[in-house]
Structures are given as C-alpha cells and as structure tokens.
Amino acid sequence: MRTFLFVIAAACLAQAPALAQNLTGTGASVHDASGVERANFSSAEAVTLRQKVNIAATSGSSVVFTFKILSPAGAAVFSHTGNSAPGSSGGAQSQLAGISIPSFYTTPGLYTFKGTAVLDADTVIQQATFMISSPNIMLIYPPYGARGLSDKPLTFRWTASGASRYRVTVADNAGLYNPAHEALNGGENSYSYPDNPSQPREQLVPDQVFYWKVEGLDASNNRISESNVYNFSLRSQASAQSRNVTVTALELSAPALDFEKPLNFKAVLFNSGSTTESNISLKMSLGGIPAQDSPKQVAMIGPGEKKEVPFTAFMPSGQEEGLAVACSDLFDDNIPDNCKTRLISKNAGLPAAPKTGKKLSYEEMFQEIIKRLGPDAAKALEGYTFESLTCANCSQDELSSIISALISGEAQLVNASVLDTGGAQAGAGAQTQVAAAAEEEAAPAEQMETNLEVPELKDETPGEWTGYTQPLKTREGAGYIIRDRKEWKRIWKAISSEELPDVDFGAKMVAGVISGARDRAESVRMLGKRKTEDGIAFDYYIIEAAAGVKPPLAAFIFKVYDKAEGKAEFKRLDVAK
C-alpha cells in the first residue's frame, strides 16, 4: 500500500510544470562621473556601477543588490551591500555612484564588476569588465643616461600601464621637438627600433645623444599615460674600442660549515674590453640581504685585468640555503654577464669528491656544446652532421674532460661561435671548431636558479614578506612603492589573506615586486635601495623554476625601507630585459 501511494506521488511530481524564475538579469555596466558608460578609465577617476533586473511577478520582498570589484588577479578589492529595490513586477535597477578608483586600484589591467541581485529564492549574477590604466609609465631600457650602446636591434622596454597601445617617440632634443622617429605598437611593453629605417633622418647616429619617451593610448587614441624623458647614445660600430666588464667568479674563501658565523666570499671582476674602466660599483648579497661591506668601489681596471674583491655576508636566519649574487653596475656592451650567482648550502666550498671519468662520444660532446651555444647556434647548425671536434693544443682525452666539465657545471663555454666553412650545405658533413675554457667556479646561473623551496608566506626576516599570489595579466613583473597605510592595506588584501602587517609609515615605506607571466618565478629577492638622479632605485632578481616547469602562481616580495621621496625605479639584475 505504501509503495502504491509512493508511485502515484512520484507520477504527480513528474507531471508538475517547473517553476519559472521570477528574477532575470538585464545588464551590468560601468559608467564615469558624468554617467557615460565606458570600458576604459585612468587610475585617477571615479566610477559608477549599475545593474538592472526584470521581475516577472510582484513579490512582497525587495530585490537586494551586492556590488563587487575584482582586481586583474581575481581578488575582491571592493564590496558593497545594502542597496535594494521594490519587488514590483517590471524592470528594477540599482547603482553605486562616485566610487574613487584610487580606493581599490592595485595595478593596471582588466578589472571586473560583479553584480549580484537576490529576490526570494532567485539569485542573478551579472558581470562587466573595464580597463584601468596608470597615468605613469616607467622606462626600463635603455636606462637613463646610457652611453655607447651596441644593441642590434635596440629594443626599448617599459612597464605596462594598461593602455591599449603605446607610442614611442625618439628625438635629438630633450623637448622631443620634430622627432626623428615615432611608432605605435599593439599594447606590448617593448618596441624594437628598425635597423634600416625608411627615412635618412631616422638613422640613429653613433655617439650622438638621443631622447625618448613612451605614451599610453586608449582604444580611441587618446593619451592616458606617459613616461619621463630618458636619453642614450650608440657606440660607433667602426670603433675598435669595446667595453665589457664581467663578474667571472663568485667563490667562498672557506667552506660554509656554520651559518651562524659570517661567510667570506671572493668576487672576481674581469675587463675583457679594450678600454680602461673606472669607479665601478660591485654589489654582493646572500639570500636577498646585502653583504656587510656592499657595495665596494673598484677605482680602476684595465683591459685584460682581473680584480679580486672580498665580501663578508651572513646567511639569513632560518635558511638552509641561499643564493649569492654579485653584480657590477656598469652599462657596458654585454650587460647579461655583469652578474654572477651561486647557490650556497651547508658544506659548500669543500673539495669535490673524485669523479669517475666518462668517455663521451663525439655526438654527446656535440649536443652538450649546442646547449651551451644557445638556440640561435642550434638553429644555425640544424641539418648538419657531426664528424669531429678539434681543440688547439689539447688531446682527445683532454677535450673529453672539458666537455665532461661542461656537463657538470665546472666549466663554461667562453666566446664560442659557429664557424661557417664556406661551402657546406644542410645535411652535409661539416666540422665545427669549439674552444672551451674551464674555470674554477660554481655552476652557471641557469643551473643555479632551480630547486629552491620558498614557503607560502614568509615573515621570518623582520620587515620582509614573500609568497605567492594570482598571476598578473601582464607578461612583465610589476614594482610597487607604498607610502601610506591605506595603500598598504589595499595591496596586502589583494595578495594575502593573512593579517595586515604593521608598518610605521611615518618613517618607513614598503617596496615590492610581483613577478610577471613570462618570469617562471619560484621566488623574488630584493638586493637593496640606491639613489638615482631622479629619486631612488630598487635592485632585484628572480629565481626561476626548472626548465619545463611553469609555476601556477606569481611570486612576490615586499620589504620595509626607510622612507624616501622622489621617483622610484625597479631594476632586475639577473637577466637583460
């Protein structure tokens, strides 16, 4: 009897028509202060949020609205509840006017307005996106006052401001009057100057000072952001002089047996150029903390000369390993080799255990050299067959030992190039001559910057916080200067759910970096603050994930410094940007 009744009830339920939703959305939009709907704003404006709904049948309840704004990283940076409208049938709407963008702005990019309306059991969620651009663009490369550049092509780089496109202007005068060259890009934060411009006056004359700036434009080509004016000059290609001072080694003077005691380092500076250089500043840090006596000045170093510079540093408290970095501040012909890195862990610096030699085939040697030469050389050699390797004044066994050292990281390939024999075709037997120089130093930076474990949120070092947050929409990383508690609270909320750290903004400020989408960052490290002509600059470097590994989140670091006014710049030291 119970079963029979159950079947009838089930049949009745199956035949009952589904209840139609009484509340439906008819639009969410973002407006400026004058009420005009827009999709692009500058960070200094105010916005009005509006959402509309339709009510099919009158209800005794009210429609309750919620307004939220999500940052480009997806974090909620603004929220408001309390607005309502009568539940009468027909159209209903609510808006929130005069919201100051600086009150929730974190970084340039695409923000999302998320509107929620609730009536009885019905909930409607509507969204609208809008772009916020910064009025300021920070120029990165060429750096201010760079002289004797030899880049081919010369690529201008800057921090993205959220603009739809950027206009690059280059002129021979500081006022940029009658510019030699102007160009628009598609929104990227870089532009490569043409090697062979169409107009003669667009040619960049060597040894002449040129000036450049970048302007951000919206979709209607209105200027919404701009940079300061920087200047640079090129080196004469016919000149026999070259400038290249490199940090060739960074070594421990004694094994690292006890991290409670200071560690003594020796950085080796080598001038491989043809000109004498003077007043070079050499900086060294360990685990992101500057060495006790950093920076040091090298008064003069001549062509072919080496200088050994000692440093004393402490491993940061609680760390079992840390990255040592030594960098010179000279803008020479080869900026990437201005820095040297070495991963320091317990017992680093002890003599290596004897290794059993491995007899390498020609093919194994050839493939290892291709790795060291890089992708351009690999492409140039594509299709060639390998017959032999030659090495001046060394036996085959010695050559094999050198290649083994390359594989282990105990040697580097120096000044290597692909030699064209003049008549070889792809697929033909071609000989490749390679010179390899073994150095008594740590493995190259590309091998060192892997396998470092960084905790999700670290505040063991007073006044420093590191961790991970949602990736930025931009390919490049972003730098932040925070000089008041309101701004600190907004940015901290966007990156962390932890309690807001207390900072005395009367005497201090916070500087920070969030890695970009292209960085593959495991962690970010700040090296320190220095004065510039326009204000201050912060040097940092990134420890990248292993090859083939793409971290799902962006790494960040924020650190407390003594308060300073003026323009702030951020310079990444571990790679040429």
My answer on whether 102 and 59 are in the same domain is yes
Say whether pLDDT at 256 is over 80. Answer: no
pLDDT for res 426: 32
pLDDT for res 437: 32
Cα 18 to chain centroid distance, Å, stands at: 53
Of 19-28, 222-231, 420-429, which gets the smallest average pLDDT? 420-429
Place of tokens 């009885």: 120
My answer on whether 275 and 329 are in the same domain is yes
Of 59-63, 76-80, 533-537, which gets the smallest average pLDDT? 533-537
| Residue where one domain finishes, among candidates 411, 430, 447 | 447
3-state class of 555 per DSSP? strand
Residue 179: count of CB within 10 angstroms of its CB: 19
pLDDT-based confidence at 170, cuts 50/70/90?
very high
Q: pLDDT for 265-293, tens place per residue?
A: 999 999 888 778 878 888 888 877 888 88
pLDDT for res 294: 85
- Domain annotation covers residue 397: yes
Over residues 455-475, mean pLDDT: 66
Tokens of 43: 């960070």
pLDDT for res 86: 93
| Residue where one domain finishes, among candidates 133, 163, 179 | 133
pLDDT-based confidence at 169, cuts 50/70/90?
very high
pLDDT for res 481: 92
pLDDT for res 316: 79
CB 490 within 8 A of CB 106: yes
* Full DSSP string of 437-492: EE-SSPPPHHHHSS-----SEE--STTEEEEEEPPPSSSS-EEEEE-SHHHHHHHH
My answer on whether 443 and 457 are in the same domain is no
My answer on whether 152 and 84 are in the same domain is no
3-state class of 80 per DSSP? strand
Q: pLDDT for 311-364, tens place per residue?
A: 988 887 777 777 888 888 777 777 777 888 888 876 655 554 444 455 556 566
Q: Report which secondary-structure segment, H or E, holds 371.
A: helix 362-373
| Whole-number Å distance between alpha carbons of 497 and 484 | 20
- Domain annotation covers residue 193: yes
My answer on whether 455 and 562 are in the same domain is yes
pLDDT for res 399: 61
CB 284 within 8 A of CB 308: no
Beta strand segments in 287-366, E: 289-290, 296-301, 306-313, 321-328, 339-345
| Whole-number Å distance between alpha carbons of 253 and 147 | 36
Tokens of 115: 């509107």
| Whole-number Å distance between alpha carbons of 268 and 300 | 14
Ranked by mean pLDDT, which of 158-167, 340-349, 385-394, 485-494 comes out on top? 485-494
**What residue numbers bound the domain in which 158 lies?**
136-234
Mean pLDDT of the chain: 76
Nearest to 71 by CA among 21, 158, 131, 125: 131
Length of the chain: 577
CB 338 within 8 A of CB 245: yes
Say whether pLDDT at 425 is over 60. Answer: no
* Full DSSP string of 108-141: SEEEEEEEEEEETTEEEEEEEEEEEE-SEE-EEE
pLDDT-based confidence at 211, cuts 50/70/90?
very high
- Domain annotation covers residue 353: no
Say whether pLDDT at 231 is over 60. Answer: yes
395 vs 83, higher pLDDT: 83
* Span between the terminal Cα atoms of the chain, in Å: 81
In sequence order, which residues have a C-beta less than 8 Å from that of residue 547 and are 6 or more positions away?
Answer: 450
Give buried/exposed letters for 224-246 (b at 16+ CB in 10 A, else e): bbbbebbbbbbbeeeeeebbbbb
My answer on whether 30 and 71 are in the same domain is yes
- Domain annotation covers residue 311: yes
φ/ψ of 503, rounded to 5, equals -130, 135
| Residue where one domain finishes, among candidates 208, 234, 260 | 234
pLDDT-based confidence at 523, cuts 50/70/90?
confident
4 vs 206, higher pLDDT: 206
Say whether pLDDT at 201 is over 50. Answer: yes
* Full DSSP string of 378-420: HHHTTTPEEEEEE-TT--HHHHHHHHHHHHHTSEE--S--PPP
My answer on whether 475 and 519 are in the same domain is yes
CATH number at residue 27: 2.70.50.60
pLDDT-based confidence at 405, cuts 50/70/90?
low
Over residues 284-313, mean pLDDT: 86
Tokens of 244: 């290249």
> Domain count of the chain?
5
527 vs 250, higher pLDDT: 250
pLDDT for res 295: 87
User: Residue 442: what residue type?
Assistant: A
Ranked by mean pLDDT, which of 166-180, 208-222, 498-512 comes out on top? 166-180
